[in-house]
Structure 1
Amino acid sequence: MSTHDATIGAAIRGALLTAEPQAKVMAARKVARDWRLGRLAWRFDAPMPDRPARPAAPELLPPNRMPKRGKAGSQRGRIALWHALAHIEFVAIDLALDMAGRFGAAMGEAFVSDFLAVAADEAMHFALLDRHLAAMGSGYGALPAHDGLWQAAADTAHDVAARLAVVPMVLEARGLDVTPATLARVRANGDAAGARILERILDDEIRHVAFGVKHLAACAEMRGADPENLWISLVRTYFRGGLKPPFNDSARLAAGLSLSASRALAS
Structure 2
Amino acid sequence: MTAVILATACALVYGTADFFGGLATRRSRVFAVVALSQLAGLALILALLPLLPGLFSARALLWGLAAGLAGAAGLVLFYRALATGVMSVVAPTTAVTSAVLPVLFGLASGERPHPVALTGVVLALGSVLLVSQDPSAAKGGSVGSVLVALAAGAGFGGFFILLALAPDDAGLWPLVGARLSSVTMVVLLAVVAGRTLKPAAGGLRVIVAAGLLDMLANVLYLLAKAEGLLSLVAVLVSLYPASTLLLARQVLGERLHPVQLTGVACALGAVALIAVA
Same fold? TM cut 0.5: no
Write 1 or 2 for the structure with the bigger share of helix.
2
Q: Quick one: higher RCO (CA 8 Å, sep 6+), 1 or 2?
A: 2
